[in-house]
């Protein structure tokens, strides 16, 4: 008999396109569909998941790096697309026509099921109409996926605590962003309360989020212009260390990538 638990893999992460695979022995979900159709299919093939076996596409918010191929995937492979009402309104034009039976609405803050996976959504502060993060439950296992947020708060921290695996945004290094080529309004937006988490903010959030049971953290949505993988890793692990959490021993800190899949995680 198949055991309980999750399989998790980031197919791509960053402002070019976000998509995360999360599955159990009988369920396959794509969280965000921000890659092109071709890149999504290539990535799914590389982890041996058929698009015909996808049970759902979950949308966190309507920015194009999260929805780019949602419509095409749904039409081609008859996949239900789940988003909250405001996000549906905001993305309807961009994703094109979706068969009525594949238009699924969830309510932010209310949990719902896709087969054997219980899904909890929660509001995050970001400059979209109704952006959310997700927690996934199967048996006693829990996965959290939270990217695209300008800051964290007590309710987000509480929601994500006790996860076995956390995929969390570490978007930029504040110094690189300040010194970098972006125009000031864009810098202000990214650093703002409704922008993106910096490496430091991610590290501080993790100090509060991490509990004994958390085995893995994946740093996500790294900026190409304003971050470096090694810098994100060093900053976050440095903050954890100075707060008595030993990376590599207490928790594994890993990266996601803009041009490729992450490690494949079995949480059992
Ligand atoms: Zn994004
Ligand atoms: Zn966004």
The Å distance, Cα 3 to ligand 1 centre, comes to 33
Ligand nearest to the CA of 15: 1
The Å distance, Cα 77 to ligand 1 centre, comes to 24
* 209 within domain boundaries: yes
* 266 within domain boundaries: no
pLDDT digits (tens, 9 = 90+) for 133-181: 999 999 999 999 999 999 999 999 999 999 999 999 999 999 999 999 9
Structural domain span for residue 103: 6-261
Q: What pLDDT does residue 258 have? A: 95
Q: What pLDDT does residue 200 have? A: 98
Residue whose C-alpha is closest to residue 58's, from 97, 94, 32: 32
DSSP state of 53: G
pLDDT band at 3 (very low <50, low <70, confident <90, very high): low
* 267 within domain boundaries: no
The phi and psi torsions of 101 (rounded to 5 degrees) equal -70, -10
- State yes or no: pLDDT of 211 exceeds 90: no
Q: What is the mean pLDDT of the chain?
A: 97
Indicate the length of the chain as a whole number.
Answer: 268
Residue whose C-alpha is closest to residue 69's, from 12, 133, 137: 12
Which residues contact residue 225 at a Cβ distance below 8 angstroms, ignoring those fewer than 6 apart?
A: 176, 180, 181, 182
* 198 within domain boundaries: yes
Q: What pLDDT does residue 2 have? A: 53
- Give me the CATH number covering residue 226: 3.60.15.10
* 1 within domain boundaries: no
pLDDT digits (tens, 9 = 90+) for 173-199: 999 999 999 999 999 999 999 999 999
* 29 within domain boundaries: yes
The Å distance, Cα 244 to ligand 1 centre, comes to 31
pLDDT digits (tens, 9 = 90+) for 76-107: 999 999 999 999 999 999 999 999 999 999 99
pLDDT digits (tens, 9 = 90+) for 22-68: 999 999 999 999 999 999 999 999 999 999 999 999 999 999 999 99
Domains identified in the chain, total number: 1
The Å distance, Cα 168 to ligand 2 centre, comes to 13
The Å distance, Cα 128 to ligand 2 centre, comes to 7
* 98 within domain boundaries: yes
Query: How many whole angstroms separate alpha carbon 133 and alpha carbon 11?
Result: 17
- State yes or no: pLDDT of 1 exceeds 80: no
Percent of the chain with pLDDT over 90: 98
- State yes or no: pLDDT of 115 exceeds 90: yes
* 76 within domain boundaries: yes
């Amino acid at each position: 008999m198949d055991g309980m638990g999750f399989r998790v893999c980031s197919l791509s992460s960053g402002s070019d396109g976000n998509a995360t695979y999360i599955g159990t022995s009988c369920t396959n979900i794509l969280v965000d569909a921000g890659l092109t159709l071709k890149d999504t299919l290539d990535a799914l093939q590389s982890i041996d998941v058929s698009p015909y076996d996808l049970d759902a596409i979950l949308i966190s918010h309507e920015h194009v790096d999260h929805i780019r191929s949602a419509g095409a995937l749904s039409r081609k492979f008859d996949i239900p697309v789940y988003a909250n009402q405001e996000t549906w309104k905001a993305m309807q034009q961009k994703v094109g026509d979706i068969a009525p039976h594949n238009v699924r609405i969830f309510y932010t803050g209310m949990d719902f099921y896709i087969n054997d996976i219980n899904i909890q959504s929660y509001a995050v502060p970001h400059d979209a109409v109704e952006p959310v993060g997700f927690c996934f439950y199967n048996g006693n296992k829990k996965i959290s996926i939270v990217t695209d947020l300008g800051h964290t708060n007590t309710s987000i921290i509480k929601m994500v605590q006790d996860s076995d695996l956390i995929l969390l945004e570490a978007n930029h290094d504040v110094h690189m962003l300040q010194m970098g080529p972006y125009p000031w309004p864009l810098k202000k937006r990214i650093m703002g309360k409704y922008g993106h988490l910096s490496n430091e903010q991610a590290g501080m959030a993790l100090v509060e989020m991490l509990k004994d049971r958390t085995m893995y953290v994946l740093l996500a949505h790294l900026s190409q212009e304003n971050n470096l993988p090694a810098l994100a890793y060093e900053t976050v692990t440095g903050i954890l260390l100075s707060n008595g959490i030993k990376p590599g021993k207490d928790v594994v800190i890993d990266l996601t990538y803009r041009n490729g899949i992450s490690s494949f995680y079995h949480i059992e």
